[in-house]
Structure 1
């Protein structure tokens, strides 16, 4: 059972994904964001900042790494959400932007994303993220801060 209070900094993102996928009848099942993922899901970051992994393997690994997000950035809102269905069964493209603040720097955060989501047996099995790591680094002031907060287990 996931305690979503731990992920308050990501609440606008979580809500956006839940709502975007809920609108697609029969695509993904799950009451909440992390419930949508298969246990063996792979989440890829095509432009991963230095010191961060290019992929996360497994639902629990994603949950554990996302716990650290609130130490670096707090999201205020999402915008520009678009959902594209494809001719490939189970593949959906999400386009969106996030807006927030760097926790330690107070700098604004404005990021644009494209995520290609693959769903099999009503669970997300693959998530490929395209976003600009330089935006994150500029907001938090240091590329290693992201690695420490989200991927070091601290």
Structure 2
């Protein structure tokens, strides 16, 4: 039986928190994408395809922030069984500086056949810009 959209989102969040990037990426369809509609300069608007998602999350994003806790996580199932909206507060550490980080996130995901086909990440771009500036990337 194929996992529900909610199940896939829960697995994705768990893999992200555990920094299990292979499981995270494995939950994406071969042509799935992550998109950041609001982002600071220097951050791609979209990373498309499982292989490119893997390169991005392991290469660029992997050494930037370690999330230790997600709080106030709410998963909203919609009238479309493929679409899930998740809200949460992410707490972690900026790896290069050791500074604490708190990010508010709302994400809209479309899941088809147990795999992520689209992940629109509406994170707070001001927090990300501050993190990037603190490590000389912004």
Same fold, TM-score > 0.5, yes or no: yes
Distance in 2 separating the partners of 1:82 and 1:126: 19
- 1:126 is aligned to 118
* C-alpha RMSD of matched pairs (Å): 2.4
Sort the Cα spacing of 1:20 and 1:140 in 2 relative to 1 into closer, same or farther, 3 A.
closer
Sort the Cα spacing of 1:140 and 1:48 in 2 relative to 1 into closer, same or farther, 3 A.
closer
Distance in 1 separating the partners of 2:129 and 2:73: 23
Q: State the SS of the aligned residue for 1:33.
A: helix
Sort the Cα spacing of 1:32 and 1:70 in 2 relative to 1 into closer, same or farther, 3 A.
closer
- Equivalent residues in 2 for 1:37-116 (5 A)? 37-67=28-58, 68-116=60-108
- List alignment gaps of at least 5 residues for structure 1: 1-15, 22-30, 147-154
Deviation track 1:45-101 (CA, whole Å, cap 9, x = no partner) reads 011220121001101111111113232212221111111000123001111111111
- List alignment gaps of at least 5 residues for structure 2: 1-8, 15-21
Identify the structure with the greater helix proportion.
1
Q: TM-score, normalised by structure 1?
A: 0.69
Deviation track 1:118-154 (CA, whole Å, cap 9, x = no partner) reads 01222111111101121122234358627xxxxxxxx
Contact 1:107 1:140 in 2 (8 A): no
Q: State the SS of the aligned residue for 2:137.
A: helix
Contact 2:97 2:135 in 1 (8 A): no
| 1:106 positional shift | 2.4
